[in-house]
Every structure is written in structure tokens, then in C-alpha cells.
Amino acid sequence: MAECAEDGCDAEAVVELHVPWADNRVVCAGHARVIARQDGVVADPLDGHEDAWP
Ligand SMILES: [Zn+2]
């Protein structure tokens, strides 16, 4: 499994974020919810985790 890319978070990464001002990163569902609120961020569920993201 992939780990969340956010500092200090070792939860399983389930979503890839496409961030216009930074590199793409994979994060857990909790971090995805927070980061995807920002304008221009696109969240893409990882294969096998399609149910982790509405
Ligand atoms: Zn996280």
C-alpha cells in the first residue's frame, strides 16, 4: 500500500491529488478532503479505492 504523502501521516493513501502549484501526491482520505477544498485541486481515487472518494 502507499502511504499518505503529508508530513507525519502514515495512513493509507487512497486518493491522488493533482495540485496545480505543486507535484501530484497521494494522500489519505482525510487529507484529500482538506486539500481538495482548494481551488484547482483535482482528486482522483487510486485503483481499488474508488469507493474512498465520492
Ligand atoms: Zn494523511
Which residues, 6 or more positions from 41, have their beta carbon under 8 angstroms from its beta carbon?
A: 17, 18, 19, 20, 35
- Cα–Cα dist 36/40, whole Å: 8
Q: How far is the CA of 5 from the centre of ligand 1 (A)?
A: 7
The per-residue pLDDT for 1 is 80
- Cα–Cα dist 52/11, whole Å: 13
The per-residue pLDDT for 13 is 96
Report yes or no: 31 and 9 within 8 Å, Cβ to Cβ: yes
Q: How far is the CA of 14 from the centre of ligand 1 (A)?
A: 9
Q: How far is the CA of 31 from the centre of ligand 1 (A)?
A: 5
Dump pLDDT digits (tens) for 12-42: 999 999 999 999 999 999 999 999 999 999 9
The per-residue pLDDT for 52 is 81
